[in-house]
Amino acid sequence: MTLDIVRVDRVRAYPPRVTAFTQRFWDSVAQGRLETTVCEDCGKLSFPPKTFCPHCWSTRTRWTGLSGHGRLYAQTMIHAAPAIFRDEAPYRVGIVDLQEGLRIATRLLSDEAPKLDTPVEIVTLLYTDGPLFAARPNG
């Protein structure tokens, strides 16, 4: 699955801390792919990606692709934002249940408040200094 790429003409207000392990994740997001880790022992997914399985504590994990599709579980509008995000307020954030069974928190790109259980897709936000990801209604 290839994520749509939305260009954002500014730097990220709070860029993620990229490590040797998470570099692959952020490179994939920049290329329009959403990946995470799956445990080779119990088969469960983790998000964010981890070097160990938080379910069975195995260190036998590998990278796997995600569809980038899901449904909106919850959402809210942030009006009183932390200082670093103040110039972006108001903005929406949401909890998304991905098709693969993961529940993630992310920025929600929508002018109106989507109804709960609305289909959403994950997109790449390509800022001038690197990528982030967000969800937007899809349907």
Is 0.85 topped by the overall pTM?
yes
Whether 121 shows a pLDDT value over 70: the answer reads yes
Q: Which residues contact 1 (CB under 8 A, 6 or more apart)?
A: 33, 34, 65, 66, 67, 68, 69
Quick one: which H or E segment has residue 28? helix 23-30
Asked if pLDDT for residue 139 goes beyond 70, the answer is no
Average pLDDT over residues 119-133: 98
One-letter amino acid of 53: C
Q: What pLDDT is stored for residue 74 in this prediction?
A: 98
Residues of the chain with pLDDT > 70: what percent? 99
Give the count of beta carbons closer than 10 Å to the beta carbon of residue 53.
21
Q: Band of the pLDDT at 60, cuts 50, 70, 90?
A: very high
